[in-house]
C-alpha cells in the first residue's frame, strides 16, 4: 500500500484512490465544489488545488490518483507522494480561484436560501479575499424554472456541473446540459424537457451554492433558524434516511441523509415533498367520542373507561368477538404492543387483520436508487410482530360474529372501498387510533389520538430487513399520546395488566427480549444508520399464537 504524506500527516492509503479522497478520509480539509462522491470527477472548479512534490504545477486533488513508486524513487526515502495543502502558493491560488468564481456572483447572501450552508460563503470567508477588485459590471440573468419544483438563479451558479452530472449518472434522465462556453455558459434544459423526474429535488441538495432553489422552500426560512433531526422517510418501504428541518414544530423541508446501506446520498421527490400531506390533513386534536351523529371531545380517562365497558365483557364470551386491524405505518414498538394486546389478552377471542396494503408503481434507477412498490414503511415489522395476520379477514368476519374492532389507522393515504366501509360500519363498537380525520376515523365510535408520522418515535423495519430509527421531528401536542402508550393503557384497562413502560426505549427492550430477531437492536445500537435484523436470511415461519407468550 502506498504511503503518502499530506502536510505533516503520514497516511497509508489504498492504491488508486485520489488525493482528495485520502484527505477527506483523514479529516484534512481541502475545499472543493465540483467533486461529489456519488458523481464522476470533472475537476472543473479548481478549488481543490494542492502542491505535490515533484510536479511543476499545482494539481487538482480530486483527479490526482495515488500510485506506488519504485523503491529507489521514493520521496524522502519512503513516501510515494508528498502533498502540501497549506503552503503560500496553495493559499494564493485558492484566493485567486475564489476571485474568479465570484466575478459574476451577486452579493445577495441576505436573501439567498443557501446562506448558512453555502460552501461559497464558507470558503470565501476562510480562503478568499475580503474585498472585490472587480470594477466592471456583473453579468446579470433572470431566474428560470428548470422544472416544476426547481428554480435556477444563473447569477449565483459557479458551473460546477454537479446537477448536470446528476441527471446523467444518477437519474439517467439527461434533462440538463451546459449551454455555450465561457462567461455566456449556463445550465439549460435540453429540448424543453423540464427537470421533473422523481429525483429532481436532489439537485437542490447537491448544489454547493444557492443557484438551484426549491419552489417549495424558497424564501420560507433561514438555515440557522432550523433544527435538523436525523430520521427516516415513511413514504415507502425503502426507508430512506433523511434530515428533517423544522422550527417551532413546523417542518420546512426534508433533505437526504447519507446511508450507503439504504439510499446512498439521495431521496425521491415523493418523500421530499410528502410531509405536506400531514399539514393539509384535517387534524384530530383530542380523543373523540361519537355523539348525536358527530364527535365530541372526551378525556383520556373517559376514553379508557369507555373501552373497558365495551371490551371487558366480550372477553368472557365463547366466540371470536374482537378484530384488531394492524397497520404497516406504525412503528415496531406499537405493533409489538398491539400483537401482545391481541394475542395475550384477547387470545382466541380475537383475530388480527389488516387493510389491503397500499401499493403503487415500483421505480428502479440504473444507479441503484429505488422507490418501492410498497408505499407503507413497515410491512416487514407488521408481519414480524403480528405473525398470525388473517388475510381473508372480510370473509372470516362475515361468517363469524365479530362485533368489536380496534384499528390502528394507516393515516392520510388510506382510502376505503365500499366493502371495507360496510365492514367497519357493521361493528358494534369501532375504536380507531389516528391523528387525522381519515375515512376510517369518520366511521369510528371512539377516536384515540395518536401521533402523526412526523411525531412518532420508534423503529421501523424496511423491506431489506434493516431496523432503523424513526426519530420524531415535531414534539407531541398536549393531548396526543404515543401509540405504544395508548395500547399499553388499553392492556392495563381491559386486561388488568400493570405495565408501566415510561419510554419507547423500554418497550424496545421488552420487544428484543421476546423477538430474537430484534434482540439487542436498541436505539443506542442501531443509531442513525440502522442495523439489519438478526438472522436476516431466515424468514419467520408462521408460528401462530404460540409464538408470543
Partner 1 sequence: MAQNRTFKFTNPQRVEKILSQYPDKRSATLPLLHLAQEQEGYLTSAAIEAVAELVEIHPGEMMDTVSFYTMFYTKPMGKNHVQVCQTLSCSLNGADSLVDHISEKYKIAHGDVSQDGKISLVKVECLGSCDTAPVIRINDSNYESMTVEKFDKIVESI
Residue with cell 424554472: 145
Q: How far is CA 188 from CA 104, 193, 427, 524, in A?
A: 18, 10, 59, 46
Q: Are 239 and 257 in contact (CB under 8 A)?
A: no
Measured from the CB atom, the residue of 127 and 365 that comes closer to partner 1 is: 365
Measured from the CB atom, the residue of 126 and 193 that comes closer to partner 1 is: 193
The DSSP 8-state label assigned to residue 25 in this structure reads: H
Out of 27, 73, 181, 500, point to the residue binding partner 1 (CB under 8 A): 181
Please choose, from the candidates 230, 235, 280, 300, the residue with its C-alpha nearest in 3D space to the C-alpha of residue 258. Answer: 230
Please choose, from the candidates 238, 267, 236, the residue with its C-alpha nearest in 3D space to the C-alpha of residue 253. Answer: 267
Give min distance, CB of 34 to partner 1, in A. 15
Give min distance, CB of 146 to partner 1, in A. 13
Measured from the CB atom, the residue of 185 and 255 that comes closer to partner 1 is: 185
Residue with cell 502536510: 7
Measured from the CB atom, the residue of 168 and 396 that comes closer to partner 1 is: 168
Q: Are 26 and 254 in contact (CB under 8 A)?
A: no
Check residue 326 for interaction with partner 1 (CB under 8 A): no
Give min distance, CB of 197 to partner 1, in A. 13
Q: Among the candidate windows 18-26, 169-177, 331-339, 418-426, which touches partner 1 by CB under 8 A?
A: 169-177
Residue with cell 415496531: 332
Measured from the CB atom, the residue of 99 and 196 that comes closer to partner 1 is: 196
Check residue 177 for interaction with partner 1 (CB under 8 A): yes
Check residue 194 for interaction with partner 1 (CB under 8 A): no
Out of 87, 132, 148, 179, point to the residue binding partner 1 (CB under 8 A): 179
Out of 130, 135, 180, 399, point to the residue binding partner 1 (CB under 8 A): 180
Check residue 366 for interaction with partner 1 (CB under 8 A): no
Check residue 178 for interaction with partner 1 (CB under 8 A): yes
Check residue 191 for interaction with partner 1 (CB under 8 A): yes
Check residue 148 for interaction with partner 1 (CB under 8 A): no
Please list every residue from 80 through 119 that binds partner 1, using CB under 8 A. none
Please choose, from the candidates 202, 229, 235, the residue with its C-alpha nearest in 3D space to the C-alpha of residue 463. Answer: 235
Q: How far is CA 252 from CA 110, 228, 234, 269, 364, in A?
A: 19, 10, 17, 15, 28
- State which H helix or E strand residue 512 sits in: helix 504-514
Measured from the CB atom, the residue of 177 and 308 that comes closer to partner 1 is: 177
Measured from the CB atom, the residue of 164 and 431 that comes closer to partner 1 is: 164
Q: Among the candidate windows 172-180, 342-350, 370-378, 539-547, which touches partner 1 by CB under 8 A?
A: 172-180
Please choose, from the candidates 150, 141, 144, 156, the residue with its C-alpha nearest in 3D space to the C-alpha of residue 111. Answer: 156
Interface with partner 1: number of residues (CB under 8 A): 12
Measured from the CB atom, the residue of 200 and 470 that comes closer to partner 1 is: 200
Give min distance, CB of 468 to partner 1, in A. 35
Check residue 365 for interaction with partner 1 (CB under 8 A): no
Check residue 176 for interaction with partner 1 (CB under 8 A): yes
- Cβ-Cβ contacts under 8 Å for 373 (sequence gap 6 or more): 359, 360, 361, 362
The DSSP 8-state label assigned to residue 210 in this structure reads: S
Residue 81 and residue 98: Cα distance in Å, rounded? 27
Out of 84, 168, 396, 545, point to the residue binding partner 1 (CB under 8 A): 168
DSSP string, 476-500: PPTT---HHHHHHHHHHHHH-----
Residue with cell 390533513: 281
Please choose, from the candidates 224, 191, 195, the residue with its C-alpha nearest in 3D space to the C-alpha of residue 207. Answer: 195
Measured from the CB atom, the residue of 175 and 455 that comes closer to partner 1 is: 175
Max CA separation in the chain (angstroms):
94
Q: Among the candidate windows 173-181, 199-207, 217-225, 437-445, which touches partner 1 by CB under 8 A?
A: 173-181
Q: Is 485 left (phi over 0), alpha (psi -120 to 50) or beta?
A: alpha
Measured from the CB atom, the residue of 190 and 501 that comes closer to partner 1 is: 190
Residue 507 and residue 337: Cα distance in Å, rounded? 8
Q: Are 172 and 367 in contact (CB under 8 A)?
A: yes
Give min distance, CB of 365 to partner 1, in A. 15
Measured from the CB atom, the residue of 179 and 426 that comes closer to partner 1 is: 179
For residue 156, what is its C-alpha cell? 449565483
Out of 106, 143, 144, 190, point to the residue binding partner 1 (CB under 8 A): 190
Interface residues toward partner 1, by CB under 8 A: 167-168, 174-181, 190-191
Amino acid at each position: 500500500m502506498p504511503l503518502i504524506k499530506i502536510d505533516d500527516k503520514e497516511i497509508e492509503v489504498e492504491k488508486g484512490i485520489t488525493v482528495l479522497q485520502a484527505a477527506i478520509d483523514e479529516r484534512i480539509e481541502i475545499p472543493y465544489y465540483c467533486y461529489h462522491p456519488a458523481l464522476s470527477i470533472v475537476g472543473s472548479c479548481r478549488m481543490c488545488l494542492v502542491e505535490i512534490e515533484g510536479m511543476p504545477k499545482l494539481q487538482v486533488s480530486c483527479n490526482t490518483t495515488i500510485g506506488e513508486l519504485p523503491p529507489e524513487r521514493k520521496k524522502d526515502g519512503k513516501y510515494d507522494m508528498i502533498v502540501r495543502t497549506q503552503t503560500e502558493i496553495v493559499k494564493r491560488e485558492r484566493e485567486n480561484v475564489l476571485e474568479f468564481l465570484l466575478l459574476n456572483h451577486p452579493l445577495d447572501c441576505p436573501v439567498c436560501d443557501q446562506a448558512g450552508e453555502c460552501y461559497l460563503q464558507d470558503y470565501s470567508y476562510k480562503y478568499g479575499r475580503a474585498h472585490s477588485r472587480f470594477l466592471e459590471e456583473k453579468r446579470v440573468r433572470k431566474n428560470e424554472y428548470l422544472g416544476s419544483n426547481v428554480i435556477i438563479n444563473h447569477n449565483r451558479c459557479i458551473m460546477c456541473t454537479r446537477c448536470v452530472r446528476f441527471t446523467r449518472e444518477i437519474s439517467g434522465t439527461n434533462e440538463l446540459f451546459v449551454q455555450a462556453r465561457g462567461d455566456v455558459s449556463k445550465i439549460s434544459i435540453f429540448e424543453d424537457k423540464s427537470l421533473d423526474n422523481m429525483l429532481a429535488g436532489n439537485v437542490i441538495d447537491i448544489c454547493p451554492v444557492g443557484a438551484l432553489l426549491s419552489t417549495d422552500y424558497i424564501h420560507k426560512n433561514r438555515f440557522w433558524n432550523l433544527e435538523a433531526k436525523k430520521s427516516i422517510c415513511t413514504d415507502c418501504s425503502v426507508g430512506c434516511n433523511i434530515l428533517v428541518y423544522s422550527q417551532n414544530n413546523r417542518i420546512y423541508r426534508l433533505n437526504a441523509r447519507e446511508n450507503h446501506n439504504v439510499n446512498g446520498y439521495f431521496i425521491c421527490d415523493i418523500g421530499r415533498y410528502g410531509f405536506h400531506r400531514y399539514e393539509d390533513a384535517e387534524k384530530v386534536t383530542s380523543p373523540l367520542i361519537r355523539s348525536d351523529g358527530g364527535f365530541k371531545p372526551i378525556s383520556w380517562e373517559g376514553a379508557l373507561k369507555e373501552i373497558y365497558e365495551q371490551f371487558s365483557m366480550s372477553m368472557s364470551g365463547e366466540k371470536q368477538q374482537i378484530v384488531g386491524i394492524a397497520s404497516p405505518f406504525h412503528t415496531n414498538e406499537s405493533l409489538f404492543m398491539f400483537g401482545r394486546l391481541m394475542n395475550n389478552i384477547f387470545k382466541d377471542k380475537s383475530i388480527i387483520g389488516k387493510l389491503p396494503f397500499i401499493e403503487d408503481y415500483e421505480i428502479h434507477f440504473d444507479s441503484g436508487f429505488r422507490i418501492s412498490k410498497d408505499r407503507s414503511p413497515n410491512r416487514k415489522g407488521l408481519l414480524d410482530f403480528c405473525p398470525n395476520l388473517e388475510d381473508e379477514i372480510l370473509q372470516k368476519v362475515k361468517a363469524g360474529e365479530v362485533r368489536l374492532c380496534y384499528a390502528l389507522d394507516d393515516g392520510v393515504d388510506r382510502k376505503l372501498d365500499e366493502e371495507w366501509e360496510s365492514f367497519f360500519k357493521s361493528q358494534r363498537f369501532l375504536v380507531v387510533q389516528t391523528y387525522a380525520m381519515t375515512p376510517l376515523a369518520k366511521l369510528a365510535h371512539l377516536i384515540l389520538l395518536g401521533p402523526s408520522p412526523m411525531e412518532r418515535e420508534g423503529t421501523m423495519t424496511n423491506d431489506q430487513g434493516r431496523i432503523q430509527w424513526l426519530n420524531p421531528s415535531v414534539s407531541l401536542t398536549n393531548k396526543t399520546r404515543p401509540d405504544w402508550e395508548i395500547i399499553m393503557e388499553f392492556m392495563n384497562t381491559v386486561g388488568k395488566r400493570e405495565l408501566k413502560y415510561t419510554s419507547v426505549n423500554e418497550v424496545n427492550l421488552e420487544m428484543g427480549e421476546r423477538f430474537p430477531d430484534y434482540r439487542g437492536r436498541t436505539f443506542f445500537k442501531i443509531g442513525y444508520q440502522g442495523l439489519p435484523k438478526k438472522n436476516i436470511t431466515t424468514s419467520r415461519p408462521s408460528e401462530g399464537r404460540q409464538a408470543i407468550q
